[in-house]
Chains A and B, each alone.
Chain A
Amino acid sequence: MDAVEVLVERRSAESLAVLERHWSLRRTFAYVDERSFTAVPWLSEIQEHIPQPYRQDHYCLLTSGTTGAPKLVIGRKENSEQLARVLHRAQDSDPVRETIVTLPLTYCYAFVNQWLWSRVINRRLILTAGLSKPELLRESLRRANDAMLCLVGPQAAMLRGMFGAEAFPGVIRLHFAGGRFPQEQLGALQELFPNATIFNNYGCAEALPRLTLRRAGDSECASDIGYPVAGVQLKSGDSNELLFLSPYRCVAQLDSKGFQEIAPEQWMPNGDQVREGDNGHWHLLGRDSEVFKRYGEKIALPQVLTTVSQQWNGQTGYYREKDSAGEDGYVLLLSPQPGETELHRLMQALRTRHPRTHWPLRIEGAPSLPMRTNGKVDCLAAQKMEDRTLLWRQRL
């Protein structure tokens, strides 16, 4: 049997050249971030479970999701190239000459939306070290020439903090995926990127990566994920769970439970809950873990977090916890530490817009929040941070 080669992304031109070469070869490869090096032995161990037909013309990306358990999603190269072309048309990307990468290319969103798109459509790819080296990123943004930038939601607030009043007119497309869409920050983002058309890109690792598209200005609602990308079908199940069909999605996955083929006609869940709006747009209610009942009342955490983000410009995270009565709840994390006035304003917004059951069990502040490699807040790690400060609590 052909071996599945494991490629490690190192954010370098050499690493890109290796990726380019392996995409051209028929042999299947797995692409992992250098910070996920512990996955390499795991991949070597489990790859014997990949059947021979998947050892050619495919590629594999690693995802961990919110559980932290590694999973390999296996996509067909041809299908993903087709998606890159579909996205190019749907996102009106023809005027775009280059794409600036701030996320790891092993993240399926950056991999398809940027790397594969640039390869298929023949556009320039500009690697950066992302927000970890803001000065270098600033230089890339200053030199941007009809560029596309792809970010995840939590990076919006960080960009504003880093670059303040500077404007980057060379960015003409700004895409967001991963986490909540930063609807409340559109005004500030438009000041940073005055010539950019902003899009909400929704998807998941299993979709490799895209399911829907919305121009930011088409709705005022952060939970509006827009309409399905051409070829994708969505429906909501009995418990509002999102189910999807897509010709571009992963064709198989491999985790500790073993190898699983995904039939083309098989409706696939992704752990989110949705509802369809009247105008054909879909609305995200939250992750399964973000929608729960508390004292008999249904709580959709994204709705509460919308209120929070309207009052708080810093980073936000949360983790789940039960109260002393055993009822489900959550702890809200804010970073950096808010001042007394900011905290008061936030609490008043919670009071006026949400019943007590929606309020967090506690509000904690921290100098910074741990981030995952894909730019999202690592809520599991945040729960274990030692430098958290209690700002407020419900006595329950």
Chain B
Amino acid sequence: MAAATLITNIEKLKDLLVDVFLIDPKEFHLDLKREQIDTWDSLGIVSLAVGVQETFGYHFTQDEAIAITGIRDIIAALEARGISFDE
């Protein structure tokens, strides 16, 4: 029997960001900053917030979404709500 593949939260976040910002999966790393992603615009923020809610069940407030400066901020905000990103 094939072993079930567990998708980690990091992988889920990566898939989401690739989908929302159309970044190349090879460009993804945890230290990516907002200013490094040209498609991280105002509509991108809305799209990201919806995507996070769909994927992790947490809804960013408008202030939280605007204050995010990079991927590590997203992880920190979600970990503060009990969503683990430990490998």
Residues of A near any B CB (own CB < 8 A): 295, 347-348, 350-351, 355-357, 392, 394-396
Contacts and interface: CB of A to CB of B under 8 A. Distances in A.
Contacts of B22: 347-348, 350-351
B19 A356 contact: no
Contacts of A396: 43, 46-47, 50
B64 interface: no
B41 to A, nearest CB: 6
Contacts of A351: 22, 39
A356 B39 contact: yes
A178 B24 CA distance: 37
Interface in B30-64: 39, 41, 43-44, 46-48, 50-51, 54
Chain B at the A interface: SS class? helix
28 contacts: A295-B43, A347-B22, A348-B22, A348-B24, A350-B22, A351-B22, A351-B39, A355-B41, A356-B39, A356-B41, A356-B43, A356-B44, A356-B47, A357-B43, A392-B19, A394-B43, A394-B47, A395-B20, A395-B46, A395-B47, A395-B48, A395-B50, A395-B51, A395-B54, A396-B43, A396-B46, A396-B47, A396-B50
Contacts of B44: 356
Nearest to B22: A351
Contacts of A357: 43
A194 to B, nearest CB: 39
Given A355-B41, A395-B51, 7 more contacts: A347-B22, A350-B22, A351-B39, A356-B43, A356-B47, A395-B20, A395-B50
A85 B44 CA distance: 55
